[in-house]
Amino acid sequence: MTGAGNDFILFDGIKNNTPDLTPAMIQSICRRGLGIGADGVLVVLPSKNFDYKLKYFNSDGTSGMLCANGARASIIYAHAKLFPDKLRVAFECCKNKFTGKVKGENEAVFNLPDIDKGAYETVAIRENELKVYLADTGAPQAVIDFLDLNFTGKSFDDFDFVPFAKKIRYHKKFLPAGINVNVLLNEDGRFKIRSFERGVEDETLACGTGIIAAAMFLSDIKGEKTPIEIFSRSKKKFIINFRKKMTNFESVSLRGHAAIVFNGTIEI
């Protein structure tokens, strides 16, 4: 499955027997070139109180965080394969209740609970100080304005993003867990983002929770009003809505592309 280029292997534990996936299994099947290849693994399971339960694993086998694009992919899958009469679903993930709906062909809206406002802080990178917006949108996020980086002669699309992002991801301020890193550009009123995800340890074509954090930054620091549109590395458009309050953001939603790419079986 794909959520605007953020790709996943989804196991249906409602219709099928799903094995207990170990980190080694997840690493193996997510490894590009030698496995199926993916940024992460989704497992859909029965739930007593909701339509289903969702588990998410990064490609390195770690878990416990929210993946907004994975959630949107699961909403598409649930409608296509499990509950064809339902456009709206409720599911549990990370011990919280979430809702979502199918919105047109290959598009899903994911609704999140209230999110606390982020903090705009200064982080020292070697001899330089960098302004970074820090927020937890289900996974910890750092958002940086590309114009603050002063990459002389380098464009947003071409600058060496991964080495830079690793300096933030592994910065002592964020250890031991680390942080996702997002660099944002306002290109003549069109917002573009590049994202580095911990657990994948690389740039991904889209990070849903990072895009939500970027929209919070645009609202909180830059004064942008919702709905906010942001284009990911895959050039897919995301639409973010929320109500900004004094200390948090309410009624948060993320809308964008998600689709089933292919179905198959694998022996593990």
- pLDDT, tens only, 168-217: 999 999 999 999 999 999 999 999 999 999 999 999 999 999 999 999 99
Q: Which residue reads 């645009």 in tokens?
A: 218
- 30 with 95, same domain: the answer is yes
* The domain boundary residue, chosen from 111, 139, 173: 111
pLDDT at 145: 97
Residue 33 has pLDDT above 80, yes or no: yes
Do 105 and 119 belong to one domain?
no
pLDDT at residue 154 greater than cutoff 90: no
Residue 158: pLDDT over 80 = yes
CA distance 183 to 149: 9
Q: Is 259 exposed, middle or buried (0-12, 13-18, 19+ CB in 10 A)?
A: middle
Percentage of the residues of the chain whose pLDDT score is greater than 70? 100
Q: Using pLDDT thresholds of 50, 70 and 90, give the confidence band for residue 144.
A: very high
Q: Is 30 in the active site?
A: no
In the structure encoding, which two tokens stand for residue 226, read together? 């919702």
Give a yes or no: residue 99 inside a domain. Answer: yes
Q: Confirm whether 67 is a catalytic residue.
A: yes
Residues 197 and 85 placed together within one structural domain of the fold: no
Work out whether strand 107-112 and strand 96-102 pair parallel, antiparallel, or are unpaired: antiparallel
- Assigned domain for 264 exists: no
Average confidence score pLDDT of the chain:
96
Same domain, yes or no: 6 and 103: yes
Q: Are residues 251 and 126 in the same domain?
A: yes
pLDDT of 127 strictly over 80: no
If asked whether residues 8 and 89 sit together in one domain, one would say yes
Asked if residue 246 has pLDDT above 80, the reply is: yes
Q: How confident is the model at residue 40 (pLDDT cuts 50, 70, 90)?
A: very high
Which of 79, 111, 143 is the last residue before a domain boundary? 111
Residues 30, 93, 94, 207: which is the catalytic one?
A: 207
In this structure, are 217 and 93 located in the same domain? no
Same domain? For 122 and 243 the reply is yes
Integer Cα distance of 76 and 146 in angstroms = 33
For residue 126, pLDDT over 80 is answered with no
Nearest to 11 by CA among 60, 64, 73, 63: 73
**Count of structural domains, the chain:** 2
Q: Tokens 């990064």, residue?
A: 58
Instruction: Please report whether residue 86 resides in a domain.
Output: yes
Domain that holds residue 56: 2-111
46 and 99 belong to one structural domain: yes
Q: Domain check: are 94 and 153 in the same one?
A: no
Residues 79 and 137 in one domain: no
- Report, as an integer, the average pLDDT of 87-113: 96
Contact between 189 and 230 (Cβ < 8 Å): no
Catalytic residue among 30, 67, 93, 94: 67
